[in-house]
Chains A and B, each alone.
Chain A
Amino acid sequence: DGGITQSPKYLFRKEGQNVTLSCEQNLNHDAMYWYRQDPGQGLRLIYYSQIVNDFQKGDIAEGYSVSREKKESFPLTVTSAQKNPTAFYLCASSTGAGGRDEQFFGPGTRLTVL
């Protein structure tokens, strides 16, 4: 089956720790995205990548880092510099075809800081 997988489903972090969220897609999409979802605030863009080995900051990139070494993979690291990381994190991908394409979302990772 084609789709996007995210792991783990639930993640607990102690203060001061870095954690990495996995996102893999087998849709052969060029573009990938990371969003953060907080109650009542919709989705906010953290980072996005239009092509392998290239990525750009979104609206709330501070305290996060990403890499795009393979087309299929776009991991997100939540660093200790992110002061309020407890949230639901969603990864998405799209064909990247000039803005007309819809994004396909993974099932999400819920991160909780202990």
Chain B
Amino acid sequence: AQSVAQPEDQVNVAEGNPLTVKCTYSVSGNPYLFWYVQYPNRGLQFLLKYITGDNLVKGSYGFEAEFNKSQTSFHLKKPSALVSDSALYFCAVRGSSWGKLQFGAGTQVVVTP
């Protein structure tokens, strides 16, 4: 069975400060890991993914994520948060064979001016 945990329901950060959204996962085999962002009453937008290779993955809008196999984590980061980054962020995982994409419960990010 595969699972994803986003331990924080909400993350509050001041504009200009670093932003981190945590994600841990559990799969058998090698994981495919994804981050998505959702603005109110909208669909999800893809930010980045880890399939193989470099542990540091760079994505859209200045976001990056680091794959840590020993800690089974895939935390999303941004060096300097913007008010426009305020949204709901989802981490998702799939096992190496074709399988369902398992989503975390989501983390609400609030960036204050």
On A, residues with C-beta under 8 Å from B are 4, 6, 40-45, 48, 58-59, 88, 90, 92, 98-100, 102-108, 110
Contacts and interface: CB of A to CB of B under 8 A. Distances in A.
Contact of A99 (B42, B98, B104): B98
Contacts of B90: 42-43
Contacts of A42: 90, 103-106
Contacts of B103: 42-44
Contacts of A103: 44, 46, 101
Contacts, number: 54
Interface of B: 9, 32, 34, 36, 41-46, 49, 51, 90, 94-101, 103-106
A48 B101 CA distance: 11
8 contacts: A42-B90, A42-B105, A43-B44, A90-B43, A98-B98, A99-B94, A100-B49, A105-B45
A108 B105 contact: no
Contacts of A106: 43
B32 A99 contact: yes
Contact of A102 (B42, B46, B106): B46
